[in-house]
Amino acid sequence: MTDQARPPLPPFTPESARQKVRAAEDGWNSRDPERVSLAYTTQSKWRNRAEFITGRKEIVDLLTRKWNRELDYRLIKELWACADNRIAVRFAYEWHDDAGNWFRSYGNENWEFDAHGLMAVRHASINDLPIKETDRLFHWPLGPRPDDHAGLSDLGL
């Protein structure tokens, strides 16, 4: 499987964009770099913080490093806007390092998709906020966020 269609496909409506955002959130919450990479074109271009990468192998490498460092990772994404083949997302995720220090990372992403629904471009701006473990808000078991768990807006984020 290299470039099979990944519905919903552009042009996006608010409803189909929300479906795409939730699918991305569920994929990232799997913490499986190979699985996540399949949602991107073979030559997808990313800006992730200050790192610039191209292609699925580099995506897998980046995500492997990320999830080896960001332990007990739990992510919530929320649609911000959409038009044609582009989606803007805001997100927050919680994680801790190997010393037990907790963080909530906030950010925004701009996504551009090809005609097959694969992400061709991803620009991510991310800031990390140290938090106390008692201030955590994301308390579901590792894996996809349960449907009844509050989203970012509901949590006041």
Domain membership of residue 22 as a residue range: 14-135
Residue 39 lies in a domain: yes
Beta bridge partners of 82: 87
Q: How many domains does the chain have?
A: 1
Residue 24 lies in a domain: yes
Residue 77 lies in a domain: yes
pLDDT at 2 over 80: no
pLDDT at 90 over 90: yes
Residue 141 lies in a domain: no
Measured CA to CA, the distance from residue 41 to residue 57 in angstroms comes to 11
pLDDT > 90: percent of the chain? 97
SS (H, E, C) 58-125: HHHHHHHHHHHHCEEEEEEEEEEEEECCEEEEEEEEEEECCCCCEEEEEEEEEEEECCCCCEEEEEEE
pLDDT at 52 over 50: yes
First-to-last C-alpha distance (Å) of the chain: 36
Return mean pLDDT, the chain: 97
- pLDDT tens by residue, 114-127: 999 999 999 999 99
Residue 1 lies in a domain: no
Residue 9 lies in a domain: no
Residue 142 lies in a domain: no
Per-residue pLDDT averaged across 36-47, rounded?
A: 98
What CATH number does residue 71 fall under?
3.10.450.50
